[in-house]
Amino acid sequence: MDQEIKDKYIRAGKIAGEVRDYAKKITKPGKKILDIAEAVEALIKAKGAEIAFPINISINDIAAHDTADRDDERIISENDVVKLDVGTHIDGYIGDTACTVAWLPEHQELIKATERALEEAIKLCTPGTNLGDISAIIEKTITDLGFKPIANLTGHGLGKYNLHAEPTIPNVGFKTSYTLQEEQPIAIEPFATIKDGAGLIKESTEKKIFMLINPKPVRNQNARQIIKIAEKRNGLPFPLRWVPASGVGLRIGLKELMDKNILYDYPVLKEVNTTPIAQSEQTIIVGEKPMVTTKTDNF
């Protein structure tokens, strides 16, 4: 990897880690998720990075792809298990990290299981490691601690303006010939639920995050407005709350874009048995001594 590119990954990761820690600090019972989202995304820009994806604030059985709406009135409860997934980039080079916060004692061991699995997986992020070994240690660590990994959620590689490059890194063991390469950027993110869970997620009908995949001319003014915002993202996702249009106009414009296959949507993902899910994630540059770009003293 070119040193200039590596430095951008490192800088993006440092900012992502700092912002994740800030998000964790301000996420408290009684707080609106909209206020959290706006504060976190403003801090990313204030620190000199760009937003790689809208902060995911996924509560309880929701695993991913949930974020605040423009007029979102949802408030964090002391009973909640809250996943905070933060992404930054410098010139397209990404830092991707997540943590889980909860306040009830019964949820703390679930969170620790994902953190421990992440720690064990990072140790294996060395050149030549078989990808299946990383997935196997994630699964073993979570199950040994009495929880279930989410089998159909994965970590992933990172590329320039590409949040989900090769390889895909499952959270359960599998057979593969794929091995990690020196200075390869990857994001490892164990997800786990309790024993009563299915250990699987399903797509819901809610869709709050979108990505431009096939730009083409459209007639609807609101659709053109959405495309204008999407084009500035260089292929990275955006939430509907960044779009000035609202109400019926927004829905009509969005429908045209989806009908014409101009946008890709990210459905909100939920645990099949509606059990709580925890998540932990770091970005790593593979090496004999793995470099965790998103690591801070707090995580």
If asked whether residues 114 and 55 sit together in one domain, one would say yes
Band (pLDDT 50/70/90 cuts) for residue 51 is: very high
Catalytic residue among 115, 189, 256, 271: 189
Q: Is 107 among the catalytic positions?
A: no
Q: Is 66 among the catalytic positions?
A: no
Q: What SS3 class is residue 247?
A: helix
Catalytic residue among 7, 106, 164, 203: 164
Q: Is 297 among the catalytic positions?
A: no
Q: Is 115 among the catalytic positions?
A: no
Query: Each residue of 253-290: pLDDT tens digit?
Result: 999 999 999 999 999 999 999 999 999 999 999 999 99
pLDDT at 175: 96
We report the CATH number of the domain holding residue 43 as: 3.90.230.10
If asked whether residues 181 and 242 sit together in one domain, one would say no
Residue 297 within any structural domain of the chain: no
Q: Is 35 among the catalytic positions?
A: no
Residue 298 within any structural domain of the chain: no
If asked whether residues 89 and 225 sit together in one domain, one would say no
Query: Exposed, middle or buried, 287 (CB in 10 Å: 0-12/13-18/19+)?
Result: middle
If asked whether residues 78 and 215 sit together in one domain, one would say no
If asked whether residues 114 and 185 sit together in one domain, one would say yes
Q: Which two tokens stand for residue 132?
A: 């299946």
Domain coverage including residue 235: 207-268
If asked whether residues 74 and 97 sit together in one domain, one would say yes
Nearest Cα to 193, choosing from 273, 84, 79, 99? 273
* Burial letters 81-100, b for 16+ CB under 10 A, else e: bbbbbbbbbbebbbbbbbbb
Catalytic residue among 41, 61, 80, 96: 96
If asked whether residues 123 and 239 sit together in one domain, one would say no
72 contacts 35 by C-beta, under 8 angstroms: no
Catalytic residue among 21, 50, 66, 85: 85
If asked whether residues 147 and 259 sit together in one domain, one would say no
We report the CATH number of the domain holding residue 247 as: 1.10.10.10
If asked whether residues 214 and 187 sit together in one domain, one would say no
Task: Judge whether residue 249 has pLDDT over 90.
Answer: no
Number of domains in the chain: 2
If asked whether residues 258 and 287 sit together in one domain, one would say no
Q: Kindly report the pTM of this predicted structure.
A: 0.96
Catalytic residue among 21, 66, 156, 271: 156
Q: Is 109 among the catalytic positions?
A: no
Contact residues for 233 (Cβ-Cβ < 8 A; gap 6+) = 211, 212
61 contacts 275 by C-beta, under 8 angstroms: yes
Residue 299 within any structural domain of the chain: no
If asked whether residues 245 and 178 sit together in one domain, one would say no
Band (pLDDT 50/70/90 cuts) for residue 145 is: very high
Q: What SS3 class is residue 22?
A: helix
